[in-house]
Amino acid sequence: MIKNKFNYILEKLPYKQPFLFVDRIVSLSEKGIIGSYTFKPTESFYEGHFKGFPVTPGVILTECMAQIGLVAYGIYLLGEEGEVDYSKLQVAMTTTDIEFLKPVYPKESVTVVSEKVYFRFSKLKCKVQMHNAKNEVVCRGIITGMLVAK
């Protein structure tokens, strides 16, 4: 049952390749979400960031945290409030405050842990952290966004 709920949320994400940065949802509750993604060495942004020494750009790390920790989680929270027409889902990230601590390289798997600060009037604010495979914090911060299904 829970696995089906996870897959259902993944299907409702408003992203597709090559701009989908969620592989799976690991855990989900009223308090938060945990999900993961593995950065493929073929991702287009590695070609130019940096020449001969590919590193995942901070904006992509932020996007990965937002897709898991804000959008996937927001889809769950909206569903808990009642019937939602996800085909009309509108998402807007409104603020971010991210601290970058360690680089992420091609082939690295990361885990995003997002904890709800609040969700009201369609606005979701979350405290997020991204961990590498060694469970080291790669980046952390606050992401806020609006999720509306009109």
Q: Are 70 and 64 in contact (CB under 8 A)?
A: no
- Active-site position among 49, 102, 125, 140: 49
49 noted as active-site residue: yes
Question: For each of the chain's 150 residues, which pLDDT tens digit applies?
Answer: 345 789 999 999 999 999 999 999 999 999 999 999 999 999 999 999 999 999 999 999 999 999 999 999 999 999 888 878 888 899 999 999 999 999 999 999 999 999 999 999 999 999 999 999 999 999 999 999 999 887
**pTM for the structure as a whole:** 0.94
The pLDDT value recorded for residue 150 is: 73
Structural domains of the chain sorted by starting position, each given as residue range(s) with its CATH number in brackets: 2-149 (3.10.129.10)
Strands annotated E in the chain: 24-28, 32-38, 89-100, 109-120, 123-131, 137-149
